[in-house]
Structure 1
């Protein structure tokens, strides 16, 4: 019997074993899953780049919280992808160490902050944006990423700039309207545009794609026009600096003479246009010398005092008046007016000087992120008084108009050094990348046909034979844009809008990711995870399922932690709405929920305390009950922000109301709080006036007169303090002094400013029943025998 014939196909290609086939299927599934996760990460990064500038620069809490959550989800997907691949690979970046040090100092600054709630909110932002940087560096490494992200940035920049130009011409001359996409003012918009313009010019000059070159040209034109429309002189100066850097970086490349001439002439034309715009549109007036108003103030003799009702101690809330935007058109002539030149130079110099004082007081860890506005109340800038000026010390600020000084003031000088270290590393990496390319072609890359790279067949650099990669041309635009933003940061707070921060991080990550010398460290080689001895911990650690579950759980916990402030803010807003509708029970419930969700936020305690105080004033039967509740809320508020003079004032008021002028212990507590408020802010008129009222009520008239005199020394237009001072002068028999005070009150009334400024700090200074002053003035005229003047005052009262 002959043997069966051989099946050559079967013998040469035996069927794979079942286990081998299963492994291959698992490998294919793993590759597909990794690709899906990579695509999701890329789409998420692209979405952040697109929507953040369009939604009011992501400054609103809901949008900012959504951005935090999206970044956390993308980070989770990134770790899940590495877990699925069983190799944790991280790109080594020169910024790893300085970012870790900066985060550590930010954490320490938050722990020792003067307002932990505000610093904690800023700490969330710092942590999330550092995560975002590592997301970018580790997930954008291919050329098609550039071909997607860069046009997206240009397109979004064109939309923002185009809308700004539309607002400028449709709302002329109200320039504040152009800032509606980038609150709070046009300077913030200028900072964002400074990043886009050089990048757009670089792509318009050197892009190999016609459609991308055209898009870049449109983006460059719109963003430049929009920059001019912002009227931001800091933006203009920073743009000129970025132009100089652009030219210097381009000059070192070997280019055709025509193209270099075209580039230089174009840049000179842009600079000339900027200068002409400053002269023709802004028309700056000569710089005036600031009045030395302190010489106008005559020293007063320490005298003594009485007042109105103690319940009137609770005065209006001060408002942070911005230094940088002109007042609305309808208010011009009624509020303090300064020339734009004065605003740009004098105010900033004074503010920087005050910021240096803050740095001197808190040199190592600063006051805490987000607390500049609180500590600045102690260092407020006085305003020269004139016929249009109401408040002398009403100007406050939340920003130093210099990002570097603000970083030093809020997080300490070591943090500023690390920040400058980060900037230095970014520019050093970019410049090293440029030095590796000895020639930039003066015509599109696709026209470089010879010599070609033998391995890939792609066009190469004519002198070095290296691949003519368009990434090299982007470095010039990226570095020039960063230069403009960093120069603008010297005179404005342009790094505060989250959208600008995100684009800044994109630029830094692109420079770091595409450095040609970047290598993975030994521990970052992405080797497969090897199994160790059979132990329970080893099985748990090396199980992809366990690791993936742990990653998801951590992400959910962090997401919940980030979402809680948003939910608390929603309840806080509901409480305000209920309070306006006089649904006080619902308002109290909403405030309490907000406090439980975010216990470190002092605003929630303040609003609830204000509501309790209001209920105590309107409810005589339960007055004591509501005052006790208000006292507890104000004490928590002061505990969270002990350096806030306004909070100390509110706590002193509630102690006085609870004492009913009889409880000596509560009266002493009230006096102590007002004194602490004046230690924090010696120029705060409402605390000194309220303290004078209490002194007068308990019989310390000499001390009360001194406090009232000090109050009008700092704020001459504070009507209530002048009236109380005049009352005490009359009681002491100093009728001429009392008469002088009443006449000054009448002069303030004749200026007729209160109907136009009825709220805020200035409104609180002017708020008063002026008929009382006319009545007292008429009586003094009558006592002095000036009957005609007394008769005129009585007629005025009858009107």
Structure 2
């Protein structure tokens, strides 16, 4: 609670400060450079095989590890990339006019996309592709007018070719799509059934046992979510107490043996279920109201801006949506590295939008 209150204090302070145009430009430059350094470090991490995360590598045939760069965990790093990537794409395609600067900026976009693939976080991959499509749709008039230029089209084609041929991309992507389908439509396919593209030429489907990538991950996540729901169901008003999910986990897997996954303590992997389980109905309603107000202001700002203001708010909107979506499969709202960046960027964007709308 104290940590979350520190984000609020930082947010309010940054809203109250009056920044000049030159300072905003300096913020953009510094953030661009620092993000580039983080992405270059992530690429070097994979190429030279140091400090790679090896959790969750079962069923990956070519990948040697998962990149986390400076963000402690590959899931956190993928969330950071999804948060900032829409803004970097808008900067590249719409804001920058010089061809050389555009290509330099697109190289950073490509570097971030490559880093995203190297995190091997399936949900984040799907969220990334949806986010890039969404930002293009929201800014479609300016986006497509500027995107269909030879140098950008060639750069995009080259990036697509690189991504398509990266280690385990094709199989992991098929698995990600299947996982999404299974979650939404409950296809119920069993572990003995191979995914499309998993059979080698001449292999007998009856002799192939599917890699556990999809089933194992899906079963464990849904079981963890059920654990959070059971805690909430048994304590619907006030929950089990803030911060007590892990302490009560062993009690619940003992009470409900079908929830046991072989661990004495295991995160719920869902920020909203964590809040529900720990603080009950009162807590989750209060918590969600924070983000409802956040998006109300985001939409209000968008419709009272010039082009630059609209691009800033659109980038924040799409980036924050990706952050919220990934919180359905990870506890990102409780990770300090992510939340400091989330609220800092939000405060700067709101500050800019508030000052910008007064000039209209």
Deviation at 1:269, TM superposition (A): 9.2
Query: How far apart are residue 190 of structure 1 and its match?
Result: 0.5
- Give CA deviations for 1:125-181 in whole Å, capped at 9, x if unaligned: 1121111111111125432232122222222222222111111222284425x2362
Show the counterpart of 2:250.
Answer: 377
> What's the offset of the Cα at 1:420?
2.7
Instruction: Summarize the Cα distance change of 1:174–1:270 in structure 2 as closer, same or farther, 3 Å threshold.
Output: closer
Cα offsets for 1:491-514 (capped at 9, x unmatched):
122333312101110232134323
Partner of 1:394: 262
Q: Which residue of 2 aligns with 1:780?
A: none
Residue pairs, 1:339-738, within 5 angstroms: 339-380=212-253, 394-437=262-305, 470-516=308-354
Answer yes or no: is 1:143 the counterpart of 2:21. yes
For residues 41 and 144 of structure 2, the distance between their equivalents in structure 1, rounded to whole angstroms, comes to: 37
- Once residues 408 and 151 of structure 1 are traced to their aligned partners in structure 2, the CA distance between those partners, rounded to angstroms, is 39
**Shift in Å, 1:246:** 0.6
* 1:203, distance to aligned residue in structure 2 (A): 1.0
Q: Which residue of 2 aligns with 1:230?
A: 119
Deviation, 1:479, is 1.6
Query: In the TM superposition, what is the alpha-carbon distance from 1:279 to its structure 2 partner?
Result: 1.9
For 2:155 and 2:257, locate their aligned partners in 1 and report how far apart those are by CA, in whole Å: 45
Residues 289 and 430 (structure 1), Cα distance of their counterparts in 2 relative to 1, 3 Å cut: same
Partner residue, 2:170: 279
- CA RMSD in angstroms, aligned pairs only: 3.8
8 Å CA contact retained: 1:231, 1:282: no
Tell me, in whole angstroms, the C-alpha distance in 2 between the residues paired with 1:268 and 1:475: 28
**Are 1:157 and 2:32 matched, yes or no?**
no
Task: Give the whole-Å Cα distance in 2 for the aligned partners of 1:378 and 1:223.
Answer: 41
Residue 393 of structure 1 and its aligned partner are, at CA, apart by: 5.6
Aligned to 1:242: 131
Query: 1:429, 1:511 within 8 Å by CA — same for their partners in 2?
Result: no
C-alpha distance after superposition, 1:304-331 (max 9, x if no partner): xxxxxxxxxxxxxxxxxxxxxxxxxxxx
CA deviations on 1:25-56 (whole Å, 9 max, x unpaired) are xxxxxxxxxxxxxxxxxxxxxxxxxxxxxxxx
> Is there any run of 5+ residues in structure 1 with no aligned partner, and where?
1-122, 292-337, 385-391, 438-467, 521-799
Q: Give the distance between the partners of 1:270 and 1:487, measured in 2 at CA.
A: 25
Tell whether the 8 Å contact from 1:241 to 1:487 is kept in structure 2 after alignment: no
Provide the rounded CA distance (Å) in 2 between the counterparts of 1:143 and 1:469.
Answer: 15
Rg larger in 1 or in 2? Answer: 1
Distance in 2, Cα, partners of 1:148 & 1:215: 18
Measure the CA separation in 2 of the matches of 1:142 and 1:425. 26
Aligned to 1:132: 10
Cα distance change of structure 1 residues 257 and 359 upon mapping to structure 2, 3 Å threshold: closer
**CA-CA distance at 1:182 after TM superposition:** 2.1
- Structure 2 gap segments, 5+ residues each: 53-62, 179-187, 193-210
Rounded Cα–Cα distance in structure 2 between residues aligned with 1:289 and 1:408: 31
Aligned residues: 312
Residue deviations 1:99-147, cap 9 Å, x none?
A: xxxxxxxxxxxxxxxxxxxxxxxx2211211111111111254322321
TM-score by length of structure 1 reads 0.35
Q: Output the CA distance in 1 between the equivalents of 2:230 and 2:33.
A: 43
